């Protein structure tokens, strides 16, 4: 039998902040989205105060003030580094692991055959907490779907933090009261469809007829049903290179002139290209969009987008920036207050794949060498050590992140200070 464990970091962003500032231990914490707009993460204390997820922070001003809630801008450098530390630590316990998101990983533990799996997972949890300072919860099950459900239970038992759902009796007890929309993989539309079929609870879905579920929810739905029964259908997945790469952010303030928008776009393009090269791909097309602020109903609105095909698949930042600027010039209109722009690199192919062109020879692309150097310098000396002229110097469009904590683990001049 297969054994899966889902390891999920508890309130990951808030926990990262707490590692480096113990005075936050019992304080409610909220973390804001890019540009300090909405609440995207909360500590348990903030959840208990009734602060909802995803709402604009200004709507919660009173609660935040009254309960002395700590408010932070997203510190993705810190969260990314802490995530890597957690995942590296987990990787020491099993070679079979799928990093599912920034704060979740599936582990296969059946190859290991530890005598006492429950104790083993408690050790994993203790070690990750000691090494990284991040508390995690672990759900153990015979399938990924059940491991995910077990994790929900583990989360509620904060003292132990590990729950094993492999025994049939436990599965019955937990699946019976569990709403179908709480099951991993059940989309909102699906739970409504299931409800209309008289299926409300996880146990009812488990005991439904597979062919009927397949008819209504496709083979994906049937797979979830079988996983609920304990038949493993979804294995660990290897990380696939992305098919599209997107880079986009809101501006710190509305922009009207073309130049600063172009500058911001060039930065997003450079960032997307870096990711593109990291996964060893080339893009065949570029998609650019601009948006005004839809929330400001009194202002004139304009949204537009354009896709531009590249003659030769490329990962050269210079070419992509040129293409992006060309796209922007096609869709930019004077007289609007723009809120956001972004770029998407499309139709990605492996860099090794080279299609012969009649008029262009690109067996050796001289741009590759230059980009290699740029990437290497920026990796060794810090991001943006080398950048392209189009990215600008002043960057007045930059996002607000006024409440960001120090980047404790990735910047020499922002290290934790101890007396």
Partner 1 sequence: MTLVTPTVLKIAKPCHLPLALCHVEAGFPSPADDYMEGALDLNEHVIKHPSATYFVRASGDSMIGAGIFNGDLLIVDRSLEASSGKVVIAEVDGQLTVKRLLKLNDGFSLQSENSSYPPIELQEGNEVVVWGVVTHVIHDLL
Q: Decide: is 340 part of the binding site for partner 1 (CB under 8 A).
A: no
Number of residues interacting with partner 1: please give it, by CB under 8 A. 31
- Closest approach of partner 1 to the CB of residue 123, in Å: 6
Which spans in 67-196 are helix H? 76-91, 117-132, 144-156, 168-175, 188-196
Of 116 and 355, nearer to partner 1 (C-beta) is 116
Of 177 and 382, nearer to partner 1 (C-beta) is 382
Of 127 and 249, nearer to partner 1 (C-beta) is 127
Q: Decide: is 405 part of the binding site for partner 1 (CB under 8 A).
A: no
Residue 56 phi, psi (nearest 5): -60, 140
- Closest approach of partner 1 to the CB of residue 195, in Å: 44
Of 215 and 379, nearer to partner 1 (C-beta) is 379
Q: Decide: is 409 part of the binding site for partner 1 (CB under 8 A).
A: yes
C-alpha–C-alpha distance, residues 71 and 288, integer Å: 33
Residues 11-30 that bind partner 1 (CB under 8 A): 20-23, 25
- Closest approach of partner 1 to the CB of residue 416, in Å: 5
Which residue from 60, 73, 89, 291 is in contact with partner 1, where contact means CB under 8 A? 89
Cβ neighbours of residue 359 closer than 8 Å, sequence gap 6 or more: none
Which residue from 84, 275, 337, 400 is in contact with partner 1, where contact means CB under 8 A? 84
Q: Decide: is 418 part of the binding site for partner 1 (CB under 8 A).
A: yes
Which spans in 28-136 are helix H? 44-48, 61-66, 76-91, 117-132
- Nearest C-alpha neighbor of 250 from the set 272, 265, 233, 235: 265
- Nearest C-alpha neighbor of 139 from the set 171, 111, 176, 114: 171
Of 39 and 82, nearer to partner 1 (C-beta) is 82
C-alpha–C-alpha distance, residues 241 and 276, integer Å: 9
CA 230 to centroid of chain Cα atoms: 28
Cβ neighbours of residue 374 closer than 8 Å, sequence gap 6 or more: 317, 386
Q: Decide: is 65 part of the binding site for partner 1 (CB under 8 A).
A: no
- Closest approach of partner 1 to the CB of residue 76, in Å: 18
- Closest approach of partner 1 to the CB of residue 212, in Å: 45
**Binding map of partner 1 across residues 94-133, x = CB under 8 A, - = no contact:** --------------------xxx--xx--x---x--xxxx
C-alpha–C-alpha distance, residues 350 and 47, integer Å: 44
Residue 409: C-alpha distances to residues 33, 112, 319, 351, 405 (Å): 21, 33, 33, 32, 11
Candidates 48-56, 60-68, 364-372, 410-418: pick the segment binding partner 1 (CB under 8 A).
410-418
Cβ neighbours of residue 397 closer than 8 Å, sequence gap 6 or more: 251, 252, 253, 255, 260, 261, 263, 264
Residue with tokens 């095909």: 309
- Closest approach of partner 1 to the CB of residue 396, in Å: 32
Residue with tokens 């609660």: 63
Q: Decide: is 79 part of the binding site for partner 1 (CB under 8 A).
A: no
Of 58 and 131, nearer to partner 1 (C-beta) is 131
Residues 209-238 that bind partner 1 (CB under 8 A): none
- Closest approach of partner 1 to the CB of residue 133, in Å: 7
Is the distance from CB of 271 to CB of 375 less than 8 angstroms?
no
- Closest approach of partner 1 to the CB of residue 140, in Å: 16
Of 86 and 162, nearer to partner 1 (C-beta) is 86
C-alpha–C-alpha distance, residues 50 and 68, integer Å: 14
Q: How many residues does the chain have?
A: 419
Q: Decide: is 415 part of the binding site for partner 1 (CB under 8 A).
A: yes
C-alpha–C-alpha distance, residues 318 and 308, integer Å: 15
Kindly list the residues in this chain that would bind partner 1 in the complex (CB under 8 A): 20-23, 25, 84-86, 88-89, 92-93, 114-116, 119-120, 123, 127, 130-133, 380, 408-409, 415-419
């Amino acid at each position: 039998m297969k054994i899966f464990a889902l390891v999920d970091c508890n309130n990951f962003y808030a926990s990262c902040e707490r590692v480096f500032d113990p005075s936050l231990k019992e304080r409610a914490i909220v973390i804001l989205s890019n540009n300090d707009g909405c609440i995207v993460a909360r500590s348990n204390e903030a959840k208990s105060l009734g602060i909802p997820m995803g709402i604009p922070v200004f709507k919660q001003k009173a609660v935040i003030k009254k309960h002395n809630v700590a408010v932070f801008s997203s510190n993705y450098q810190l969260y990314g580094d802490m995530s890597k530390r957690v995942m590296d630590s987990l990787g020491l316990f099993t070679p079979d692991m799928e990093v599912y998101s920034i704060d979740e990983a599936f582990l296969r533990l059946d190859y290991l055959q530890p005598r006492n799996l429950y104790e083993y997972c408690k050790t994993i949890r203790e070690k990750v907490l000691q090494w990284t300072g991040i508390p995690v919860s672990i759900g153990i099950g015979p399938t990924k779907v059940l491991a995910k459900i077990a994790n929900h239970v583990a989360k509620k038992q904060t003292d132990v933090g590990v729950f094993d759902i492999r025994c049939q009796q436990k599965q019955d007890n937990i699946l019976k009261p569990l709403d179908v929309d709480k099951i991993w993989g059940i989309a909102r539309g699906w739970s409504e469809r299931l409800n209309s079929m008289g299926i409300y609870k996880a146990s009812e879905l488990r005991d439904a007829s597979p062919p009927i579920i397949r008819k209504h929810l496709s083979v994906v739905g049937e797979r979830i049903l079988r996983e609920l029964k304990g038949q493993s259908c979804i294995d660990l997945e290897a990380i696939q290179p992305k098919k599209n790469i997107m880079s986009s952010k809101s501006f710190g303030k509305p922009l009207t002139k073309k130049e600063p928008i172009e500058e911001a776009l060039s930065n997003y393009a450079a960032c997307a290209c870096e990711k593109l090269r990291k996964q060893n791909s080339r893009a065949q097309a570029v998609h650019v969009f601009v948006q005004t602020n839809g929330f400001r109903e009194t202002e004139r609105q304009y949204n537009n987008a354009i896709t531009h095909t590249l003659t030769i698949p490329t990962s050269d930042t210079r070419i992509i920036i040129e293409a992006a600027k060309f796209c922007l010039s096609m869709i930019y209109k004077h007289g609007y207050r723009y809120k956001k722009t972004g770029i998407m690199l499309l139709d990605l192919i492996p860099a090794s794949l080279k299609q012969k062109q009649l008029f262009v020879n690109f067996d050796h692309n001289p741009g590759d060498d230059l980009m290699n150097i740029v990437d290497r310098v920026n990796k060794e000396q810090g991001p943006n050590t080398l950048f392209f002229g189009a990215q600008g110097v002043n960057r007045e469009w930059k996002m607000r992140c006024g409440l960001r904590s120090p980047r404790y683990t990735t910047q020499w001049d922002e290290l934790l200070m101890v007396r």
